[in-house]
Amino acid sequence: MWKPNQPGTGSGSQSPEPLRPATPAPSNFDSGTRLATPPAAPNASTGEQATIGKSLVVKGEVSGSESLYIDGKVEGSISLPGNRVTVGRNGQVAANITAREIVVLGKVRGNVTASDRVDIRSEGSLTGDVTAQRISIEDGAFFKGGIDIRKPDAKSAAPVVVPEPAKATA
């Protein structure tokens, strides 16, 4: 007689069902597979962003390699090259900002440098100089400062220093 089938239901046709829950290897393998896949890598590629909430105040230097949404206060400098910085409607920033893309819905006091574009939305306010390839200022937005439009290949068009030819001596 086959005893492992008798404790479950007693029929021989249901023997595979009691054996599956009794083997812990598949469940450990599944959970191990989930833990082995880092969630940070897919999130960074899908455009996840960090957030500074309404009640937060940051003083100092903010730098990193992901996009940032600011709804609180930031004083100092923000450097997120290759990423987007969005200053939300409640955001108040007194800092120089360097990023790929900068969107202003709140208040910014400081110079902004974008490798791609700067958007100042209708409820936004920017006091400072802008350096970017593209800029958009919606009706109703406040802007006070200078604008420097850089062409995409401005970095490669840096002045080239040509050495003088060597003088031959006789």
* Inside any domain, residue 27: no
List of residues 6+ apart from 15 with CB closer than 8 A: 2, 4, 5, 8
Query: Which of 37-46, 53-62, 71-80, 131-140 has the weakest average pLDDT?
Result: 37-46
User: Which pLDDT does position 126 carry in this prediction?
Assistant: 98
User: How confident is the model at residue 151, as a pLDDT?
Assistant: 87
Asked if pLDDT for residue 158 goes beyond 80, the answer is: no
pLDDT surpasses 50 at 34: no
Average pLDDT over residues 44-60: 83
In a domain, 134, yes or no: yes
User: Does position 119 have pLDDT exceeding 70, yes or no?
Assistant: yes
10-24 pLDDT, tens per residue? 444 444 444 444 444
Q: Note whether residue 120 is domain-resident.
A: yes
Q: Is residue 22 part of a domain?
A: no
Buried b / exposed e along 117-156 (16+ C-beta atoms within 10 A): ebbbbeebbbebebbbeebebeeebebeeeeeeeeeeeee
Coil, helix or strand for 14?
A: helix
In a domain, 105, yes or no: yes
pLDDT digits (tens, 9 = 90+) for 60-107: 999 999 999 999 999 999 999 999 999 999 999 999 999 999 999 999
The fraction of the chain above a pLDDT of 70, given in percent, is: 62
Tally the domains of the chain. 1
Q: Domain span at residue 61? A: 48-149
Residue 37 backbone class (left: φ over 0; alpha: ψ -120 to 50; beta: rest): beta
Is pLDDT above 90 for 117? Answer: yes
pLDDT of residue 152: 78
- Is residue 166 helix, strand or coil? coil
